[in-house]
């Protein structure tokens, strides 16, 4: 994700931004030592396993502590990347003000909501709820972004996607056996991402600062926000369970810091359209990891509904073809 070194860029489509990131698509593509397909697969695994790591982390620490640790270690990774590239943090009170809002909407709030949700719902369900972000983004962008016009295909995808959500939740059974609070928090976390992306497009698109610089500042502010909130709602642990602690460190360094760097590199090399396809692998890997490693149960409606959600999300990202001029 060193693609952030390009100073002047144009904003990518709403759903192409990775969870918790602040990025635009650079115009240049560079060859990388490691094939992009391997990095794509690695990114899918990292983000797919993130929900398992959240679940393990909350087994030993409070959700706010998990989120704070995640943001802290993710910020450290980006700080190293910024120093390595001899970049600098953005300047200007207005920029930092907008970054504070994006830090809340794209990092502090959704990360905390997912951590709290996994106290009562399986990591598999949290991963599938995360896949609804493109659906929320499509619905919101039709209202908030004038350049996103509805088409029959995209509206059909929106309806199909939310039908998939109802299938995952077992609506025909009256949501029996489902923790309403945990599921609602996971869905609100997924909704927070597109709200943050829309805010960024309306306030920071076309910024002269590099993407790496902006994202590093955003994570720094999110860490500061959690540093204030966490002591108010939690107490300092008297002991530090090793496995949950390692899960938090891995979640921060890999699932937040390194994942953002990989994503930017993919956008730079193969473009946002290809890079965004990672979205469709995350719930599959999250489900497989939760079932195989954590032993979480899986009803037939969960994978079937997940497929419907992903199909709907794919349709919402379709763009009308324009006839070429002779």
What was the pLDDT predicted at 280?
A: 79
Q: Are 158 and 316 in contact (CB under 8 A)?
A: yes
The pTM assigned to this predicted structure is 0.83
Q: Are 219 and 75 in contact (CB under 8 A)?
A: yes
Backbone phi and psi for residue 152, each to the nearest 5 degrees, phi listed first: -60, -40
Residue 13 pLDDT class (50, 70, 90 cuts): very low
Q: Average pLDDT, whole number, for the chain?
A: 82
Q: Are 144 and 205 in contact (CB under 8 A)?
A: no
| Residue range 196-221, pLDDT digits in tens | 988 998 898 877 888 899 999 999 99
What was the pLDDT predicted at 269?
A: 82
Report residue 7 as tokens.
């100073």
Q: How many CB atoms are located within 10 Å of the residue 6 CB?
A: 17
Report residue 310 as tokens.
């992903």
What was the pLDDT predicted at 74?
A: 97
What was the pLDDT predicted at 98?
A: 95
How large is the average pLDDT for residues 233-239?
Answer: 91
What was the pLDDT predicted at 24?
A: 47
Cβ-Cβ contacts under 8 Å for 166 (sequence gap 6 or more): 305
Highest mean pLDDT, choosing among 125-129, 134-138, 230-234: 230-234
* Three-class DSSP category at 322: coil
What was the pLDDT predicted at 26?
A: 47
Q: Lowest-confidence range among 24-38, 93-107, 174-188, 303-317?
A: 24-38
| Residue range 76-90, pLDDT digits in tens | 999 999 999 999 999
Cβ-Cβ contacts under 8 Å for 172 (sequence gap 6 or more): none
Q: Are 261 and 39 in contact (CB under 8 A)?
A: no
User: Which DSSP symbol is given to 179?
Assistant: -
| Residue range 25-40, pLDDT digits in tens | 444 445 556 788 899 8
Residue 143 pLDDT class (50, 70, 90 cuts): confident
d(CA 246, CA 299): 30
Residue 321 pLDDT class (50, 70, 90 cuts): low
pLDDT of 2 > 50? The answer is: no
Q: Are 31 and 251 in contact (CB under 8 A)?
A: no
H-only helix segments in the chain: 36-58, 63-84, 93-103, 109-117, 123-130, 133-144, 152-169, 180-203, 211-233, 242-252, 259-270, 272-275, 282-292, 301-316
**Is residue 297 classed exposed, middle or buried when 0-12, 13-18 and 19+ CB atoms within 10 A define those classes?**
exposed
pLDDT of 181 > 80? The answer is: yes
d(CA 158, CA 132): 10
| Residue of 82, 65, 36, 179 lying closest to 121 (CA atoms) | 179
How large is the average pLDDT for residues 51-75?
Answer: 97
């Amino acid at each position: 994700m060193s693609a952030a070194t390009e100073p002047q860029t144009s904003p990518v489509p709403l759903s192409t931004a990775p969870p918790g990131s602040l990025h635009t698509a650079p115009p240049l593509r560079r060859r990388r030592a490691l094939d992009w397909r391997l990095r794509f697969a690695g990114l899918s695994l990292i983000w797919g396993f993130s929900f398992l790591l959240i679940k393990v982390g909350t087994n030993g620490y409070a959700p706010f502590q998990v989120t704070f640790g995640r943001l802290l270690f993710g910020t450290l990774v980006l700080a190293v990347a910024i120093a390595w590239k001899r970049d600098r943090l953005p300047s200007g009170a207005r920029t930092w003000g907008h970054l504070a809002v994006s830090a809340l909407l794209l990092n502090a709030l959704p990360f905390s909501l997912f951590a709290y949700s996994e106290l009562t719902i399986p990591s598999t369900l949290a991963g599938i709820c995360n896949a609804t972000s493109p659906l929320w983004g499509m619905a919101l962008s039709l209202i908030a972004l004038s350049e996103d016009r509805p088409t029959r295909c995209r509206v059909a995808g929106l309806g199909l996607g939310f039908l998939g959500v109802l299938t995952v939740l077992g609506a025909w059974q009256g949501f029996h056996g489902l923790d309403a609070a945990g599921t609602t928090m996971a869905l609100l976390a997924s909704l927070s991402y597109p709200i943050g992306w829309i805010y960024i497009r309306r306030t920071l698109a076309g910024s002269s600062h590099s993407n790496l610089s902006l994202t590093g500042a955003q994570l720094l502010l999110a860490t500061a926000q959690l540093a204030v909130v966490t002591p108010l709602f939690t107490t300092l642990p008297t002991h530090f369970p090793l496995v949950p602690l390692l899960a938090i460190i891995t979640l921060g360094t890999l699932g937040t810091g390194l994942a953002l760097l990989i994503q930017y590199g993919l956008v730079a090399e193969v473009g946002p359209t290809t890079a965004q396809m990672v979205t469709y692998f995350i719930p599959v890997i999250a489900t497989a990891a939760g079932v195989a490693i954590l032993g979480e149960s899986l009803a037939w409606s969960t994978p079937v509904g997940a497929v419907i959600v992903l199909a709907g999300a794919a349709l919402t990202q379709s763009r009308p073809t324009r006839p070429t001029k002779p």
